Amino acid sequence: MDNHKNVPFLDLVTPHVELEAELTAVFRRSLHTASFIGGSMVEEFEKSFAAFCGTDDSIAVSSGTDALRFAIMACGVQPGDVVLTVPHTFIATTEAISQAGAVPEFVDIDEQTYNISVEGLEQYLEEQCSRDQSGKLISRRSNRPVTAVVPVHLYGQMADMDEILRLAEKYGLTVVEDACQAHGAEYYSRRLHRWMKAGSMGSAAAFSFYPGKNLGACGEAGAVTTNDSRIAGKIRMLRDHGQAKKYYHDVEGYNGRLDAIQAGLLHTKLAHLAQWNARRRELAAEYNRLLAGNDAIIRPWEPSWSRAVYHLFVIRTSDRDGMIEHLKQAGIGTGIHYPVPLHLQKAYSWLQYKPEDFPVATQVATEIVSLPMFPQLTATQQALVVNAVEAFSERAEIESVSLA
Ligand SMILES: *Cc1c(COP(=O)(O)O)cnc(C)c1O
């Protein structure tokens, strides 16, 4: 068997080659105007991205991690505060919390959606916190004030925002969405009786345009969305050395601006995002249909209030490493998102969590496999993936029967 990939995990060449003329025009415009950082291309992209998300504003920054850090800071989280999030996410979520001067604490995920467990959050707030004399919510674990929660819309499916916002209101927490995997995902708000886009429900939300995301730049890029003009203003200062007027610095900020070329490329690609997301949903429906009879795997679950955009299509199986090896032999690329939950990462050993503190996240990390999922995936390629998954599942079943 040769090592040629029959089905790559991700194809980033085709979508760019398809748009080559439009994308190279962006470079030309940037060269001819010598506008490289900020400027009209950034402003145009910010307007169109805010419109896409259904928010009043969007602020383009240099990465998703910076977007999250600036959003957390601008929403009023103070150094030393606790910010709640999940252990089943990319480390950028907690890096941003720490870099804002806060301390992450975790709440386990829901086994069906892989997003923050609402019961877990409620239980944490009720049982693991107390009030100090001034009425501040204090974490018993760290004796620090708990001031914010960062739900992550993982794999392109939104967390249960109505419930999270209800608890946040009840306990006085700020909500910052990590929408880095969820550009265009939708949530049916039972409170507002309408569909809402990812990034439009919290006080602010962070998006990443890392090349492999549903909307990707040709380099590093990110954005914050918000309906709050005060938060937007603070983020514009934070990304630009704390200045609103050149060389007049109200605060110390960061070098977190977006390149004009990246903004132009993103603006061009944004026009295709809805169609790309629709194709991802079609592919997910087809995976679900073709794999429906397979009892050896657990497929993604979409609640009735969710329209996920399938940044990743993640299944679960007891012999995860065996399945990955089998698919590899068939020339099929896969991924694991993510193999080690954050509470068990060496970087967070100082938080002194144990595996059993978050049993769902700990278990799921040993069983998940991400199958190829990108808008240009063909029906033929998808059939190869499905056949390989089916062949492995049958073999695994036979083996387990013969063992018994
Ligand atoms: C990609 C990602 C980030 C960070 O984005 P960068 O642009 O790589 O800094 C944050 N959170 C999640 C969930 C992500 O997937």
Span from the CA of 68 to the centroid of ligand 1 (angstroms): 9
Mutate to test the pocket of ligand 1, among 69, 89, 180, 215 (most ligand atoms within 8 A of CB): 180
If you measure from the C-alpha of residue 353 to the centroid of ligand 1, how many angstroms do you get, rounded to a whole number?
A: 23
Report how far ligand 1's centroid is from the alpha carbon of 92 (Å). Answer: 6
Can you give the pLDDT at residue 155? 98
Q: What is the pLDDT of residues 61-77, one digit of tens each?
A: 999 999 999 999 999 99
402 pLDDT band (50/70/90 cuts)? very low
d(CA 36, CA 19): 21
- Pick the atom of ligand 1 nearest to 66's CA: 9
Range 328-341 average pLDDT: 98
Q: Given this model, what pLDDT does residue 401 score?
A: 47
* pLDDT, mean of residues 238-262: 96
Class of domain 273-403 as given by CATH: alpha beta
Sign of CA dihedral 202, 206, 212, 217: positive
Residue nearest to atom 6 of ligand 1 (CA): 64
Domain spans of the chain, in order of start: 13-269, 273-403
Atom of ligand 1 nearest to the CA of 209: 7
User: Considering the chain, what percentage of its residues have pLDDT values greater than 90?
Assistant: 95
- On the question of pLDDT at 223 being above 90, the answer is yes
Q: How far apart are CA 159 and CA 17, in angstroms?
A: 34
CB-based contact 133:89 (threshold 8 Å): no
- What is the 85 CA–ligand 1 centroid distance (Å)? 14
13-269 placed in CATH 3.20.20.190: no
Q: How far is the CA of 391 from the centre of ligand 1 (A)?
A: 34
* Residue ranges around ligand 1 (CB below 6 Å): 63-65, 89-90, 92-93, 152, 178, 180-181, 208, 210, 222
Ligand 1 centroid distance, CA of 208 (Å): 5
Which atom from ligand 1 is nearest to the alpha carbon of 89?
Answer: 13
Q: Do domains 13-269 and 273-403 have the same CATH topology?
A: no
**Degrees (nearest 5) of the Cα angle 76, 184, 113?**
80
Distances, alpha carbon 251 to alpha carbons 86, 127, 231, 232, 235, in Å = 31, 38, 15, 15, 11
CA distance 400 to 393: 11
Residue 397: band (very low, low, confident or very high) from pLDDT cuts 50, 70, 90: low
**Which protein residue's CA is at the shortest distance from atom 14 of ligand 1?**
180
For ligand 1, what atom is nearest to the CA of residue 153?
Answer: 13
146: left (phi over 0), alpha (psi -120 to 50) or beta: beta
Ligand 1 center to residue 15 CA distance, Å?
21
Query: How many residues are present in the chain?
Result: 404
Cα pseudo-dihedral 70, 75, 80, 85, rounded to 10: -80
pLDDT over 70 at 251, yes or no: yes
Q: What is the residue-averaged pLDDT of the chain?
A: 96
pTM: predicted TM-score of the whole model, two decimal places: 0.96
Q: Ligand 1 atom closest to Cα of 213?
A: 1
Q: Determine the atom of ligand 1 nearest the C-alpha atom of 68.
A: 10
